[in-house]
Chain A
């Protein structure tokens, strides 16, 4: 039997795809070592994360008669190919696509092992109102599909909650964000929410702090990467909070999780990264179905509707829309120049910045 991984293996955002593929490959290899009745091969299809390339790769996978797809990692490419996967009736589990609309189009074969941006936006709004107790919030995003979506959710929820809120957008291709910084200074907010990725978030953070803006800074899982500290500078990034639908796998004390981390390192020579655990869990969901004797894609899909097993990253169980049931959003904070895990959003205790 063949499972496909469809996602980026090359290109600007390849790291995430590689993390997922390695996680899935580890799961499949471990499964095959148990000498099962049905052996499984995992075949990669490289999309470079590009919605224009993805459809071609999906067609290839359909021709190869894959029975299940791990992917696609990004929301944009998922949007582009989901109708094709539906038509071919191939069940798919995305470890990382967070666009809320994917779960609202009535797809029968779509699943994801990550909480969507609605859940994350709500959690980040909660951080602003409950943890930071902000009365004035400034919302910035970098005008990309993912960023705009999450910034809209935070902006609208805060506004309808009676918080005084303003917003602006920055250009991911540019580096001079002084006009945005000047707007923030003029508004003088208690807290700032940034929707977007770490590269731009880091630049914005640096320029803001250098201009003397001391407001609290909250951002999303796109910015949840140690690189934001590198780009912004240790001093400028200190105390910043970042959300993620992912738990801190790396600091877990659970034996099962520790074994995963060690196995991953032994197999690939590098430590597991963002969404590796979700990739591992996605593959295991399929393998679980195969172990239960389901060998056609239709039967596997039916099995996924009822699956309920413990994974590495979270409990593997889906809603009828294909959303993962365990949609807790976790928070991280930059403390002493390191990304530290704070726990689930409603139980956050902030650390003391330097």
Chain B
């Protein structure tokens, strides 16, 4: 058992970081929205799902046969990234506008927004299963896994121990960290970011200080959606598959990552994502892969027992912690 852990340590570490990076990018959306509105946006997994399909749509539009390389790869990659970010960001803003804003306007209790979120999640899943996927992507296969074309050749870059580092996985890990740093800068160093932090601390006072709450909330959803869109492209890049329910389990995992790192805390989301990915894969090597989820959630409970607000603690305004 322990022998398995040591012999498979490096491959599992690399793969754990890669899936962890995707968890982290999705977790950012949960954490931002929670930080500002104290709302768990359960439809966020579906925002990610929309990103995967948007990437696929762009790939189909460009229409390439073999995996790309060089400038063509960079060009198509940027196009896909723009497409998935725009689709997911747009969907998140629309979701806020249609499902949450009317509730907020009427001062509904938080539980109403939560139910609306679950409703929106189911609505978006069925919308894709019954209309979008059969109409656009795979007629008659709305509920099946949809394979996506191979965008880049998967090549081994270098090895750490017996672990092989592949180009697509390394790209995902680095991209997640870079986007995290950019977002951190945006929230902590810009004027709009200050507005976000102010709203998170005390919405009433923020309003008095001239912060437009509706704009800030919309912006928060936009940023969270854009990050989920990027995650969607990276997921398609590595696993080359999507489905109308793809965001459900991933969304739960990302939410777990957000809670683990400290919900409402940006750096916590990144840390939580990586830790969750690593624990899953390390745990799977000791037991069987079917115990992955059991191990991950047991560790979550353990962490919350000793640090009830997560590893880095709660709330957006303390993002420096």
Contact = CB atoms under 8 A, between A and B. Distances in A.
Contacts of B309: none
Nearest to A232: B147
A12 B96 CA distance: 31
B285 A179 contact: yes
Interface stretch (A19-27, A121-129, A169-177, A214-222): A169-177
Interface in B277-292: 280-281, 284-285, 288-290, 292
A202 B144 CA distance: 12
Contacts of B245: 173
Contact of B7 (A12, A167, A186, A212): A186
A224 to B, nearest CB: 16
Interface stretch (A52-60, A69-77, A203-211, A298-306): A203-211
Interface size class of A (residues with CB under 8 A): 20 to 34
Interface in B61-120: none
A169 B284 CA distance: 10
A168 interface: yes
A178 interface: yes
Contact of A12 (B143, B240, B289): B143
A296 interface: no
A233 interface: yes
A178 B290 contact: no
Interface residues of B, number: 34
Contacts of A12: 143
Given A168-B289, A169-B288, A231 B145 contact: yes
Contacts of B11: 178, 182, 185-186
Nearest to B13: A182
Given A183-B4, A183-B289, A227-B144, A175 B239 contact: yes
A174 B249 contact: yes
A203 B15 CA distance: 16
A171 B240 contact: no
A180 B12 CA distance: 10
A186 B241 contact: no
Contact of B289 (A179, A186, A210): A179
Interface in A117-176: 143, 167-171, 173-176
B239 A176 contact: yes
A203 B292 CA distance: 18
A179 B239 contact: no
Nearest to B283: A179
B154 A203 contact: no
B154 A179 contact: no
B15 A182 contact: yes
B145 A178 contact: no
Contacts of A210: 154, 166
B239 to A, nearest CB: 5
A203 B147 CA distance: 9
A129 B304 CA distance: 50
17 contacts: A168-B290, A173-B248, A174-B292, A175-B235, A176-B15, A178-B12, A179-B12, A179-B281, A179-B284, A180-B289, A181-B15, A182-B281, A186-B4, A210-B154, A212-B164, A233-B150, A233-B240
Interface of A: 12, 143, 167-171, 173-183, 185-186, 199, 202-203, 206-207, 210-212, 227, 230-231, 233
Given A175-B246, A211-B164, A233-B240, 11 more contacts: A174-B249, A178-B11, A178-B19, A179-B285, A180-B284, A186-B4, A203-B145, A203-B241, A207-B239, A212-B164, A231-B241
